[in-house]
Structure 1
Amino acid sequence: MTNDHESPRMPTDGRLLGNLSVLVSVVETGNFARAADALGLSPSGVSRAIGRLETRLGVRLLQRTTRSVHLTDEGERLVAQVGPLLSGIEDAALSASGDAQAVRGRMRVSLDPMFSRLVVAPKLAGFLAAHPQLEIEIVTRDELGDLITEGIDVAVRFGVPESSSLVARKLLDTRVLTVAAPSYLAAHGAPRTPKDLAGHACIQFRDPVTRRPFEWEFHRRGKITTIDTTGPILVTDSATMYGLCVAGAGVAQVLEVSVRDALEDGRLVELFPDYAEEMFPLYAFYPTRRHAPPKVRAFVDFCVALARKA
């Protein structure tokens, strides 16, 4: 017997689950055409499925334009709730078929630009060769963004994570180094101590959170010294900063995991090795769910292995 004070429950059937899957696919792929291709449907079939779902729920889930689709507030809440559940259903089905550990399907990853270019890109072909049923789309940027609305399966970023509903897994810590190219040092001389940077062109990097240039810190024997630095160049992505530094445009503070090859082959020279005790973490982020899919776990393990070898 149903309690008169309880809210009526919406019956769950195959069509409802199917329409929810279509919605999640639209969010993951970014538009109706790509969702249709991924699901083996026509774009009009995808549109009808979304329309049926909106009619059944009595709310608009997507804002449509000629070029893109965006979730409404109601749509964001729905996807945040059902996305992990649908993933769990998929994992359960794979487990029942004895294929729970299969690394396959399409995965969208968001990476720090320099980590992507210098650490991941040189080894990605080997990772895909080991997992021939996997397809990867890489988005590079410094900001984490909204993984759910953008359909990101996993993101890898440097820095301490802010509080959020995302799962954050710390992968490792890497040192912060001060470096310059031999050509820059030949033209301007090598600073002997951090205080000598006052007379050098220091490439400034804008903090994506505060929107201000990062302060330059130097850690030695537990003591932190902050140095005011200046320079004619301010950048917003780490890959550009790296390119400028290698080209001799100035001194930069970088993460060791991303520049080890450049240090080994002489493209960059480490300055002040006695002041390089500052550590910076590398994290993997993915939407909250009980178990990350095998493709996500495999990619995160791949990033950890690369970073430790770099």
Structure 2
Amino acid sequence: MNTVPFDGRLLSGIGVLSAVVRAGNFLRAAQAMGLTQPAVSRAVSRLEQRIGIRLFHRTSRSVTLTDEGRRFYETVVPLLAGIEAAAADARQTTNAVNGLLRVNADRIFAQYVLTPAVQPFLTLHPDLSVEIVVQERLGDLVADGFDVAIHFGDPQPTTLVCERLMDVPVVTCAAPEYLKSHGAPGRPRDLEHGHECILMRNPSTGRAFDWEFVGNGEIVSVAVSGRLTVNDAGSLLGACLGGQGIGQPLEIYAQTYIAEGRLVRLLTGWSEETFPVHIYHHDLRTAPARIKEFLRYVSQICSSRWKPSAL
């Protein structure tokens, strides 16, 4: 049996056929579809040529289906209804905040920002589940099945949409015990002499992060040195708390210890340096509502504590 290869023009023609049958003539069908009457007539003629039958009896006063046309129409109407139902279901799914949302996040962001604030979001959307996976690298979101990723640092190469979510202040601090024996630096350059600094390795370069101080529109780079290098924010914080030296942790996880007096903030006149957080996601034009609502919520919780860039 010969089969007709499917293409988009066939489905388009069937749509015009259905419009003509419902409207009763070509003119009203054209008006309903926002087309001209000749365009509707040509579409019907192309469909007739495509399937090899005459669909309508045409007179100056009326348009009626032929027997073959009626059989064809009665066969395809349920199929059209199924397509329309599937499209409506897809729209409903896209607009409903439900299902599973998978988030790839830095440990620091997951621990100090996201998980403490996720409960109201889940309460607001009872049909939604959230899985937060801590990964220090972005990876392949599509292959790994993630909807969103949130990571510190400069934007990483990706085909996803990348937006700056917020800027977290960097603080220079040390334990009171360290300051008793070494004194507190009065200016950034003091760190180059007589001070032990705790270095943090940059995972992108393999080298320690440079130390910069920003204040009053001026940026000062300081060549610090130290005998301890770490590659984990928790280790950096632990070394600071243990009196090993002066460190530059993010305010996001040092602020509690500063408030308790276990760490002392230093060089406060040079504390305008920030470290960016970027959020990665799929194109929002076709993204499910759960992704859009999550992006909106994360932006809100970040703006309540730091100055984020608007999504």
TM-score (norm: length of structure 2):
0.62
1:56-106, CA deviations, whole angstroms, 9 ceiling, x for partnerless residues? xxxxxxxxxxxxxxxxxxxxxxxxxxxxxxxxxxx9655643x64432222
SS of 2:151's equivalent in the other structure is: strand
Q: 8 Å contact 1:194–1:218 — kept in the other structure?
A: yes
Q: For this pair of structures, how many residues does the alignment match? A: 223
Corresponding position of 1:300: 295
SS of 2:276's equivalent in the other structure is: strand
- Aligned partner of 2:129 among 135, 153, 162: 135
Distance, in Å, in 2 between the alignment partners of 1:278 and 1:92 is: 49
Are 2:115 and 1:121 equivalent residues in the alignment? yes
- Aligned partner of 1:207 among 199, 202, 211: 202
Corresponding position of 1:266: 261
Q: 8 Å contact 1:246–1:267 — kept in the other structure?
A: yes
Corresponding position of 2:237: 242
Corresponding position of 2:217: 222
Q: Which amino acid in structure 1 is aligned with residue 109 of structure 2? A: F
1:158-173 matches, within 5 Å, as: 158-173=152-167
Q: Tell me by how many angstroms 1:161 deviates.
A: 0.8
Corresponding position of 2:169: 175
Specify whether residues 138 and 216 from structure 1 end up closer, same or farther in structure 2 by C-alpha distance, changes over 3 A only: same
SS of 2:285's equivalent in the other structure is: coil
Q: 8 Å contact 2:101–2:128 — kept in the other structure?
A: yes
Percentage of identical aligned residues: 39
Q: Tell me by how many angstroms 1:200 deviates.
A: 2.6
- Aligned partner of 1:105 among 99, 105, 108: 99
Q: Tell me by how many angstroms 1:241 deviates.
A: 2.2
1:5-38, CA deviations, whole angstroms, 9 ceiling, x for partnerless residues? xxx9899xxxxxxxxxxxxxxxxxxxxxxxxxxx
Q: Which amino acid in structure 2 is aligned with residue 266 of structure 1? A: G
1:106-141, CA deviations, whole angstroms, 9 ceiling, x for partnerless residues? 222121222222222322333323333222222223
Q: Tell me by how many angstroms 1:208 deviates.
A: 1.7
Q: Which amino acid in structure 2 is aligned with residue 277 of structure 1? A: E
Corresponding position of 2:34: none
Specify whether residues 151 and 186 from structure 1 end up closer, same or farther in structure 2 by C-alpha distance, changes over 3 A only: farther
Distance, in Å, in 1 between the alignment partners of 2:197 and 2:165 is: 29
Q: 8 Å contact 2:94–2:287 — kept in the other structure?
A: no
- Aligned partner of 1:233 among 228, 232, 242: 228
Specify whether residues 303 and 272 from structure 1 end up closer, same or farther in structure 2 by C-alpha distance, changes over 3 A only: same
Structure 1 unaligned blocks of 5 or more = 1-7, 12-90
Specify whether residues 127 and 220 from structure 1 end up closer, same or farther in structure 2 by C-alpha distance, changes over 3 A only: same
Q: 8 Å contact 1:101–1:294 — kept in the other structure?
A: yes
Q: Which moved more, 1:239-248 or 1:199-208?
A: 239-248
Specify whether residues 140 and 214 from structure 1 end up closer, same or farther in structure 2 by C-alpha distance, changes over 3 A only: same
Q: 8 Å contact 2:176–2:263 — kept in the other structure?
A: yes
Q: Larger Cα Rg: Structure 1 or Structure 2?
A: 2
Q: 8 Å contact 2:121–2:297 — kept in the other structure?
A: yes
Corresponding position of 1:254: 249
Name the Cα RMSD after superposition: 2.9
Q: Which amino acid in structure 2 is aligned with residue 118 of structure 1? A: Y
TM-score (norm: length of structure 1):
0.62
Specify whether residues 101 and 260 from structure 1 end up closer, same or farther in structure 2 by C-alpha distance, changes over 3 A only: farther
Distance, in Å, in 1 between the alignment partners of 2:110 and 2:186 is: 32
